[in-house]
A and B are shown apart, each in its own frame.
Chain A
Amino acid sequence: DAKTTQPPSMDCAEGRAANLPCNHSTISGNEYVYWYRQIHSQGPQYIIHGLKNNETNEMASLIITEDRKSSTLILPHATLRDTAVYYCIVRVPRGGATNKLIFGTGTLLAVQP
């Protein structure tokens, strides 16, 4: 079973920041938080990952609470092309024995014009 819970859907106005929450209260000390997204009927796309510090890349920012029980993915300026299902996943990071990902139900982000 997935170790994360996410709201089933969210709306966001184009050009505004989209903040997608994720709860992972049973995360282990060596597990990272990963985010993927899946645009309709395409393969999932990696976005970002982190352990406990905030992370930022060209796609998004990841804010992880100090107790690591929850996190927020931030898309700073959402566009219509960001409409997708966003998955929050916890897994052992690089150096683990498997690449297996356990997907939850994700959040459908609908960016409105």
Chain B
Amino acid sequence: KAGVTQTPRYLIKTRGQQVTLSCSPISGHRSVSWYQQTPGQGLQFLFEYFSETQRNKGNFPGRFSGRQFSNSRSEMNVSTLELGDSALYLCASSFTLAGGLSTDTQYFGPGTRLTVL
């Protein structure tokens, strides 16, 4: 079974631009979470989606948004990029129990390395 895939793997943008990152979960997984990793702040939770609905959100400005499609694939968007948005963006998927309840194991993708110049 294929793992979590993220595209693109590397991205270079300039300040003020916007960017869209994509995540394809493991087949059958309906929950997708996004994380940002920077040297200064470490791994921080961005948001979580289940069944096309955002059900949890981290402490990030409104420039960070996401969505999930009916096939469970997810995208996150960052508008008006700032230098501080340079980071590794990680997506994780997990199989959910009935009613969308959490499971033990989350599977992470390889991440998208975003550089903002």
Q: Which residues of A contact B (CB under 8 A)?
A: 34, 41-46, 49, 87, 92-106
- Chain A at the B interface: mostly helix, strand, loop or mixed? loop
Measured CA separation A41–B48 after assembly (Å): 22
CA distance A103 to B91 in the complex (A): 14
User: Which B positions have Cβ atoms within 8 angstroms of A?
Assistant: 4, 31, 33, 35, 42-45, 48, 55-56, 58, 88, 90, 92, 94, 97, 100-111, 113
- Answer whether A43 and B110 are a contact pair too, CB < 8 Å, given A99-B33, A99-B92, A100-B48: yes
Q: Are B102 and A103 in contact (CB under 8 A)?
A: no
Distance A49 CA – B97 CA, assembled complex (angstroms): 18
CB distance from A87 to the nearest CB of B (A): 8
- Bound together, the chains give a CA A93 to CA B111 distance in angstroms of 25
Distance, CA A101 to CA B92, complexed state (A): 10
Q: List the A side residues contacting B105 at CB < 8 Å.
A: 46
Nearest Cβ on chain B to A30's Cβ, whole angstroms: 13
Q: Please judge, given known A-B contacts A94-B97, A98-B48, whether A49 and B43 are in contact too, CB under 8 Å.
A: no
Residue of A95, A101, A105 near B106 (CB, 8 A) is: A101
Within the complex, the shortest CB–CB distance from A4 to chain B, in Å, comes to 12
6 examples of A-B residue contacts, CB within 8 angstroms: A43-B4, A43-B108, A44-B90, A95-B101, A97-B101, A98-B102
B43 touches A96 (CB 8 A): no
The reply to whether A98 and B43 contact each other, CB–CB distance below 8 Å, is no
On whether the beta carbons of B107 and A99 are closer than 8 Å, the reply is: no
Q: In whole Å, how far is B19's beta carbon from the nearest beta carbon of chain A?
A: 19
| Closest chain B CB from A38 CB (angstroms) | 8
Q: Which of A49, A100, A102, A105 has the most chain B CB atoms closer than 10 A to its own CB?
A: A100
Check B90 against A99 for contact (C-beta < 8 Å). Answer: no
A95 lies within 8 A of B102 (CB): yes
Which residues of chain B have C-beta atoms less than 8 A from A42's C-beta? 110-111
Complex: A94 Cα to B88 Cα, angstroms = 27
A sample of 11 more A-B contacts (CB under 8 A), given A42-B111, A98-B55, A106-B42, is A41-B111, A44-B108, A49-B104, A87-B43, A94-B102, A94-B103, A96-B101, A99-B102, A101-B35, A101-B92, A103-B42
